[in-house]
Amino acid sequence: MRMIVRKSTKIALRRTSSLYVILLLFFIVLFYFFITKRAMSSLSDKPRQIIFIGGYPRSGTTLMRVLLDVHPMIRCGPETRVIPKLLNLRGQWGTGKESERLKAAGLYPDVIDSAVRSFILSLIINAGETSPVLCNKDPLSFIHLEYMAKIFPDAKFIHMVRDGRAVINSLVKRNVTIRGAPKEIDDRFLAWEIRVSQFIEACNAIGSTRCMTIKYESLVLQPTEVLQTLFNI
Select from 139, 134, 140 the least CA-distant residue to 121.
134
Active-site residue among 79, 100, 184, 201?
A: 79
- Give the rounded distance of the alpha carbon of 167 from its chain centre: 19
Q: Report, in this order, helix, strand and coil percent for the chain, each rounded to 5.
A: 65, 10, 25
Contact 112, 93 (CB under 8 A): yes
Residue 79 designated active-site:
yes
Q: Which amino acid is at 164?
A: G
Tell me how far apart the alpha carbons of residues 162 and 126 are, in angstroms, rounded to a whole number: 30
CA distance 71 to 74: 5
Taking phi over 0 as left and psi of -120 to 50 as alpha, with beta for the rest, 155 belongs to beta
Q: What angle do CA 108, 110, 116 make, to 5 degrees?
A: 105
Full strand arrangement of the beta sheet holding 74-76: 74-76, 133-137, 49-55, 156-161, 211-215
Residue 128 half-sphere exposure, CB side, CA atoms within 13 Å? 14
Active-site positions? Answer: 79
